[in-house]
């Protein structure tokens, strides 16, 4: 009986041309005019379509079409996965976790409850709105009046030009995040510090991209609306990113801020602000029901606003960020950012980053010299030269071995890229 004697396989039913024998076997594939089947014992056998009845031949064709469809779907899935993995950023762009909504102060008016309220709102990312609401009503009125007067001094075209350039920095960080963080010269940083760097950079990029979007920021509309409403809108956009930065501080082991009121009477208070084992005494005065640092009494505030007003008086309308000033700012920013945004591949972007790194070396050397001088002035005996300064954990001399010029060669680049992860998924 040969092939047709094995009927134990629980698969498709196949019948010979004469209808005398039927087997059950799994369909493996159809190659030309030959059906490949898998028997119960694992053997694979080939049967000519000419030796099968019409129903079996039709079934073979149907199964072949199903296989083609599945292979096509799998191919598309693999291609899409590969395309997504090589994309400059994840799709959709990741967003920070939502934060607790802003809660206006509702305490009893004592200095401790107000400071703790401000600290809570700041941890939740609402530093802008909380800071505004901490001001006495007359301070808010002065601040709003002078802010609107300052806006009138800006050149609208220059302002728009500068904002677009600054906003492009956030656009680069967020929409090219995978390519940025696959930069081979970051391979010398240990994974913990690298992850912290990624999260902090993305949070800052988000603040710039969402907070300084020229259309959403609408600075020129400030004179025509209540300033607190504008601050509230901005706060809602940037609060998640600010809170994310705060969370990073906690993960790095930075101590929590606490307050100890040592004296409070007659509208004055002394508070020890404690950061870990460090206690900083700060004097406060109560102004219109709000607690302000002692240097922000009404007299101190009047001096501050007077100086602001004098500056505005001597500034012609529309002169701030005029064409020349705006052009200077945009030239400094756009030279790198626009080229980086136009990069068609990680390698092109990394080449742009190489240019920035090379340009920063003199500045970093100066910072290292200043740090070494400061250490000597503090008498710690460290007189090491800047050439041996460790520019951060994992970098080492001159940013580590990955920073020499040979790292830009094709083989070094490909090796570094091979070791990098496919992208950043926060």
Q: How does pLDDT run across 53-101, given as a tens digit for each residue?
A: 999 999 999 999 999 999 888 888 887 777 777 899 998 999 999 999 9
Domain count, the chain: 2
pLDDT of residue 68: 92
Question: Which of 326, 342, 357 is the last residue in one of the domains?
Answer: 357
Mean pLDDT value of segment 366-389: 54
Residues 65 and 205 in one domain: no
Residues 311 and 248 in one domain: yes
Task: Return the bridge partners of 287, or none.
Answer: 290
pLDDT at residue 277 is higher than 90 = no
Place of tokens 């800071």: 131
Say if CB 207 and CB 217 are below 8 A apart: no
Question: Which of 71, 86, 101 is the last residue in one of the domains?
Answer: 86
Mean pLDDT value of segment 92-115: 94
- In angstroms, the CA 420 to CA 414 distance is 10
Residues 34 and 132 in one domain: no
User: Which one, of 125, 102, 147, lies nearest residue 206 by Cα?
Assistant: 125
Place of tokens 């940037």: 238
- In angstroms, the CA 399 to CA 396 distance is 5
Place of tokens 């990113």: 241
This prediction's pTM: 0.71
Q: Which residue has the higher pLDDT, 79 or 416?
A: 79
Residues 307 and 217 in one domain: yes
In a domain, 401, yes or no: no
In a domain, 68, yes or no: yes
Residues 330 and 189 in one domain: yes
| List of residues 6+ apart from 197 with CB closer than 8 A | 186, 189
In a domain, 95, yes or no: no
Q: Name the phi and psi angles at 213, rounded to 5.
A: -60, 120
pLDDT of residue 386: 38
Q: Which pair of tokens denotes residue 212?
A: 């300084």
Residues 210 and 177 in one domain: yes
Residues 178 and 34 in one domain: no
Mean pLDDT value of segment 412-419: 46
pLDDT tens readout for residues 309-330: 999 999 999 999 987 889 998 9
Lowest mean pLDDT among 39-53, 204-218, 315-329, 350-364: 350-364
Among left, alpha and beta (phi > 0; psi -120 to 50; other), residue 392 is left
Task: Return the bridge partners of 282, or none.
Answer: 271
In a domain, 292, yes or no: yes
pLDDT of residue 394: 35
Domain range for residue 53?
Answer: 2-86
Mean pLDDT value of segment 157-180: 95
In a domain, 79, yes or no: yes
- In angstroms, the CA 361 to CA 397 distance is 12
Residues 61 and 118 in one domain: no
Q: Name the phi and psi angles at 278, rounded to 5.
A: -95, 130
Question: Which of 338, 357, 376 is the last residue in one of the domains?
Answer: 357
Residues 236 and 145 in one domain: yes
């Amino acid at each position: 009986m040969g092939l047709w004697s094995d009927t134990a396989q629980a698969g498709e039913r196949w019948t010979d041309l004469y209808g005398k024998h039927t087997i059950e076997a799994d369909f493996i594939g159809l190659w030309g005019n030959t059906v490949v089947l898998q028997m119960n014992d694992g053997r694979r056998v080939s049967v000519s379509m000419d030796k099968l009845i019409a129903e079996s031949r039709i079934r073979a064709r149907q199964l072949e079409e199903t296989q083609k469809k599945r292979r096509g779907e799998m191919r598309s899935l693999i291609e899409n996965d590969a395309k997504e993995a090589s994309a400059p950023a994840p799709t959709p762009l990741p967003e920070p976790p939502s934060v607790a909504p802003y809660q206006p102060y509702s305490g009893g008016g004592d200095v401790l409850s107000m400071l703790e309220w401000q600290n809570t709102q700041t941890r939740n990312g609402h530093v802008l709105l909380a800071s505004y609401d901490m001001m006495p009503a007359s301070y808010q009125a002065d601040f709003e009046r002078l802010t609107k007067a300052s806006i009138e001094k800006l050149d609208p075209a220059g302002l728009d030009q500068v904002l677009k350039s600054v906003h492009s920095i956030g656009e680069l960080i967020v929409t090219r995040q995978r390519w940025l963080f696959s930069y081979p010269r970051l391979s010398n940083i240990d994974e913990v510090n690298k992850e912290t760097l990624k999260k902090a950079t993305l949070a800052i990029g988000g603040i710039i991209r969402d907070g300084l979007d020229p259309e959403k920021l609408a600075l020129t509309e400030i004179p025509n609306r209540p300033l607190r409403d504008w601050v509230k809108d901005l706060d809602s956009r940037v609060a998640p990113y600010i809170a994310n930065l705060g969370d990073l501080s906690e993960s790095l082991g930075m101590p929590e801020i606490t307050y100890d009121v040592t004296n409070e009477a007659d509208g004055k208070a002394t508070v020890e602000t404690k950061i870990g084992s460090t206690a900083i005494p700060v004097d406060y005065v109560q102004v219109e029901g709000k607690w302000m640092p002692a240097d922000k009494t009404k007299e101190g505030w009047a001096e501050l606003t007077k100086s602001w007003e004098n500056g505005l008086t001597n500034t012609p309308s529309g002169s701030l960020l005029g064409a020349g000033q705006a052009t200077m700012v945009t030239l400094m920013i756009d030279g790198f950012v626009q080229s980086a945004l136009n990069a068609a591949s990680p390698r092109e972007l990394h080449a742009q980053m190489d240019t920035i790194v090379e340009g920063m070396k003199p500045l970093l050397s100066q910072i290292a010299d200043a740090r070494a001088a400061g250490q000597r002035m503090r008498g710690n005996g460290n007189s090491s030269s800047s050439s041996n300064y460790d520019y951060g954990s994992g970098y080492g001399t001159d940013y580590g071995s990955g920073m020499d010029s040979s790292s830009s060669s094709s083989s070094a680049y490909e090796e570094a890229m091979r070791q990098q992860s496919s992208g950043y998924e926060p």
